[in-house]
Amino acid sequence: MRSIWDFVIPSSLDIRHSSLIILSENNKPEKVRLRFTLGQMDQTLFHLINERWTNPALDLFMAAVSDADVWKPVLIIIIFAALVFGGFRARACIFCLLIAIVIAEPITNTLKSAINRKRPKHVDSVRMVRLEKGRPEFMSIFKKPVVRRSDESDRRRGDPSFPSGHMTNNTIAAICLTLFYRRGWLYWIFAALVGYSRIYLGAHWPSDVIGTIFLAAAEAFFILAALELIWRWAARRWAPGIFSRHPGLVINPAE
């Protein structure tokens, strides 16, 4: 007997070890066993974000959030201002952030090659969005984004899907800012937008984004812990004057 859930839950979905009590057409309770695999849940969520929950305003916004070239001038200004006008905390934050990203990049590339997970465009025709090229780059946000369906040529282009380089860098940045600044946790909002945009633009599966957050967080904490230990050992030995004023690099760094 059909129920309201027949129109909500696609028959192709397969949820394991779960059940629902629903009302049938004659209002009698029926127990329905649903079976999902994680892969099917991943694909379903991807297609909802990439295909269904879209509009032209989001196309431009998500493409801008995800395009690193658009943000380069802003990042250069912020880094320059922090190094020139910031105190020890700002310089230590920039130093740790850059070192962590430099170390994490080859790890990310190695894992991509080893895991070799296909991107959505490698296995299906997906909705792809990108900014129209502008000169200088930030002028791209004032142009209509390019929206198209991936085709056979896209299946032969692009590196593997997991882990995500965008999410690795932004997770590391969010952790560094959270540790160094009281309101640094606010950067997690931007990091979350970047993660969502990678799915929206058709570049990554949802599980790529979630998995990368945990992986990058582990990398960040390990690298930052190593930098803290190196600072305490090296600065005490070779720069005792600086060490007396700044005994911690990551943990409670003085201004």
Domain boundaries, given as residue ranges, for the chain = 4-36, 54-245
pLDDT of residue 158: 85
The tens place of each residue's pLDDT in the chain, 255 residues long, gives: 443 333 333 333 333 444 444 444 555 555 545 456 777 888 999 999 999 999 999 999 999 999 988 889 899 999 999 999 988 999 999 999 999 999 999 999 999 999 999 999 998 889 999 988 878 877 788 888 999 999 888 888 888 999 999 999 999 999 999 999 989 999 999 999 999 999 999 999 999 999 999 999 999 999 999 999 999 999 999 998 888 898 888 876 655
CA distance 109 to 149: 27
Strands (E), the chain: 18-23, 29-34, 127-130, 146-149
pLDDT of residue 13: 38
pLDDT of residue 254: 57
Which SS3 state, helix, strand or coil, does residue 32 take?
strand
Other residues' Cβ atoms within 10 Å of the Cβ of residue 218: 11
> 170, 178 in Cβ contact below 8 A?
no
> 146, 195 in Cβ contact below 8 A?
no
CA distance 54 to 51: 6
pLDDT of residue 221: 96
Q: Which of 134, 111, 168 has its CA nearest to residue 63? A: 134
pLDDT of residue 36: 61
CA distance 196 to 64: 12
- In Å, the largest CA–CA distance within the chain is 82
| Model pTM score | 0.82
How far out from the chain centre does Cα 51 lie? 19
The strand pairing partners of 218, in sequence order, are none
pLDDT of residue 14: 38
pLDDT of residue 141: 81
pLDDT of residue 126: 93
Q: Which of 245, 103, 92, 244 has its CA nearest to residue 179? A: 92
Angle, helices 56-66 vs 187-200, to 10°: value is 120
Q: How far is CA 81 from CA 17, 27, 72, 73, in A?
A: 55, 66, 14, 12
